[in-house]
Amino acid sequence: MLTKETQTEIKRVFSLNDYEVKLWSSLLARGKSTAGELSELSSVPRSRTYDVLEGLEKKGFVISQIAKPMTYIANHPEEILNRHKEDLKKELNNKLDQLNTHKKTKTFQDILTLYEKKGSKMLENSNVSLNLKGRQNIYSRLSHLFLNAKKEILLQTNQGGLSRKNYELIPSLEDAKKRGVNIRIISPDTETVHAKDYQKFAKLKKSKDFELRFVIIDNDKTMLLTNTGKSLPQHENALLLNNPFISEEFKKIFETHWKQ
């Protein structure tokens, strides 16, 4: 059986609930089984087992075999992963199309006009520091900064950092590279599968597992991640510091680690 840590990761990656993970992991262990056997093995109530298995079948995790009683087999994990990737791509493309369409509406133009009167001036103020809460908000702000970077992006992350940022930040980093922005990344994960994606547009430096995580953009903006990144996504916090002096001091730290 899978460990609790692995089951928690499966829930996060594949967006499954507790019952789905328990039944799927039990089926993986058995290879082939009936609903009754899976219910007993996973401790999922028998009254819920059939509808949960039906949901897993629709998602491509299991395959049912017509028999008496009906039996189930686990689909190949690689096939599941590939299907999940394709589903995410379709969902993302649909959302992007919706956003691009909304950008042309009068409603969005009214919002933009209102923001540009005051809000944009506040963010451009070099003395403004922002407190960002939640991984999605942090990555969204980083992506915006990368898309507007002109010269250099320096990123230091810890164990697992490249995989956490992979799908969220790679498009904006690739865009920055095409515009001639120099990108350097310090990470202990330079030999992982995810690292190969970053090597297409950035110089990577293998390092010790530094817990200090930060990003410097054009030597005048610094984002400091204030926890390890191993907490729940909604509990992540970061400070965005619009101060060249602070950026210069963090760049000294970065260059010291880069030379090690």
CATH number of the domain to which 61 belongs: 1.10.10.10
Of 55, 77, 99, the domain-final residue: 77
Q: Pairing relation of β-strands 71-74 and 32-34? A: antiparallel
Which residues are paired to 55 by β-bridges? none
Is 103 within the bounds of a domain?
no
> Does 148 reside within a domain?
yes
pTM: 0.56
Query: For residue 115, is it within any domain?
Result: no
Range of the domain at 185: 126-259
Q: Are residue 250 and residue 134 in the same domain, yes or no?
A: yes
Please report, for the chain, how many H helices and E strands are present, in that order: 10, 10
What's the pLDDT at 10?
Answer: 85
Please indicate, yes or no, whether residues 35 and 137 belong to a single structural domain of this protein.
no
- 70 and 191 in a single domain? The answer is no
pLDDT, residue 253, reads 92
* Residues 170 and 64 grouped into a single domain: no
Angle at which helix 35-42 crosses helix 18-30, to 10 degrees, equals 110
Same domain, 66 and 131: no
CATH of the domain at 255: 3.30.870.10
> Does 47 reside within a domain?
yes
Q: Can you give the pLDDT at residue 82?
A: 85
Q: Count of domains in the chain?
A: 2
Lowest mean pLDDT among 67-71, 158-162, 175-179: 158-162
**32 in a structural domain:** yes
pLDDT 10s digits, 166-220: 667 888 999 999 999 999 988 887 777 677 788 888 898 888 777 788 999 999 8
Q: Indicate if 136 and 241 belong to the same structural domain.
A: yes
Write down the mean pLDDT value for the chain: 84
Residues 132 and 255 in one domain: yes
Residue 181: predicted pLDDT: 94
| 63 and 139 together in one domain | no
Q: What pLDDT, on a 0 to 100 scale, did the predictor assign at position 129?
A: 74
Q: Which amino acid is at 211?
A: E
Domain identity same for 249 and 136: yes
Determine, yes or no, domain membership for 102. Answer: no
Structure tokens at 127: 């003395």
18 within domain boundaries: yes
Distance of CA 10 to the CA centre of its chain: 14
Assess if residue 83 is contained within a domain.
no
- On whether both 246 and 140 belong to a single domain, the answer is yes
Instruction: Identify whether the C-beta of residue 161 lies closer than 8 Å to the C-beta of residue 213.
Output: yes
Q: Are residues 155 and 56 in the same domain?
A: no
CA pair distance 185, 164, nearest whole angstrom: 14
Cα–Cα distances in angstroms (integers) from residue 100 to residues 9, 68, 95, 104, 108, in the given order: 32, 51, 9, 7, 11
